[in-house]
Structure 1
């Protein structure tokens, strides 16, 4: 059993709390926030991770899932920890950079990278239902460029998963997600986050 301490705590989202593995700093441990926390949502996401990873495609744009392990705080889902190549620090989210007045990355760069990310997702017929700046890490590479890596919100709600079979349907769904989350403009995405009390 892995023992987690307050010093291992990183942060939390709507459904889960995140910790760095005390023995392997390249692993992130996600624990559900309470026994009654939207169990089906987390379970669906894990099943989707397992499904797409069975396809044996390299996913540098998606934090890899490594199964579960027992901790002193409960069962944790294990994922890759995204770290900058330049410093080995935990990579900041796009959300963190959008809040900074001195961000080293421009809005235009993020828009370009998001379009590239959408293209890769569509090509591989992968859906991200909760694609927002909070669920995307910006991994700074050794050459100082940035790579977007999704860390949460994968999957979809379709009962019959036709979006996983036909690229044209995946593209249509991703276009709707980008439109709904205002991801074609960082100014509009900031406004979208603020309107939902997610920008603070």
Structure 2
């Protein structure tokens, strides 16, 4: 039994709360508090599928199974930390106008390009690609990478993308375009994003 009473709360969504693992600072524990919407078991099915497929976990928070906690059953995941030891911040932190100075345009372009290539290469099917499901892990003072911390799953009526490369890419392409649209709406002053997405569209 893990006691999360004094554990640091990393965030709380509509159905789950995420805590720093009290015995391992490089892991976190997600606990479902809404009985009406338990997505963890469905999510872990997809993680097991990816484990069998032998994907790279370079840009996804890896799952480490279940634990019992004083708040109920929890799922353990890897926790991204910067080279300074701090918990990696959400990507949104670096996209806001007041956060631009923290990340150069070159770093931002490189990180998003690499993340997009990773999703398509590994065929990671997502329920929804949202900026609040992504963190930017600073590897050193001038380099970093984006890590997906939530949102894995397939909410399509016919989950063909789980088994077909062609349908996986088609689904990813559609969800990536929606992701771009949201970023351009919420961060209209970010010229780097506008230029990057134009380059992506030339590739499609």
TM-score between the two structures when normalised by the length of structure 1: 0.82
Where in structure 2 are the equivalents of 1:27-106 lying within 5 Å? Answer: 27-36=27-36, 38-39=37-38, 41-85=39-83, 87-99=84-96, 101-103=98-100, 104-106=102-104
Distance 2:127 2:113 in 1: 16
Unaligned ranges ≥5, structure 2: 189-204
| Paired residue secondary structure (2:64) | strand
Match of 2:195 in 1: none
Q: CA deviation at 1:6?
A: 4.2
Where in structure 2 are the equivalents of 1:101-140 lying within 5 Å? Answer: 101-103=98-100, 104-106=102-104, 109-140=107-138
Alignment CA distance shift 1:106-1:187 (3 Å): farther
Distance 2:153 2:105 in 1: 26
Distance 1:78 1:148 in 2: 20
Asked whether the 8 Å contact 2:56–2:122 carries over to 1, the reply is: no
RMSD (Å) for aligned C-alpha atoms: 2.2
Alignment CA distance shift 1:156-1:138 (3 Å): same
Paired residues in the alignment total 187
Alignment CA distance shift 1:168-1:114 (3 Å): farther
Moved over 3 A (4+): 106-112, 158-161
Asked whether the 8 Å contact 2:134–2:148 carries over to 1, the reply is: yes
Alignment CA distance shift 1:102-1:115 (3 Å): closer
Asked whether the 8 Å contact 1:8–1:20 carries over to 2, the reply is: yes
TM-score between the two structures when normalised by the length of structure 2: 0.81
Match of 1:187 in 2: 184
Alignment CA distance shift 1:69-1:47 (3 Å): same
Unaligned ranges ≥5, structure 1: 192-200
Match of 2:17 in 1: 17
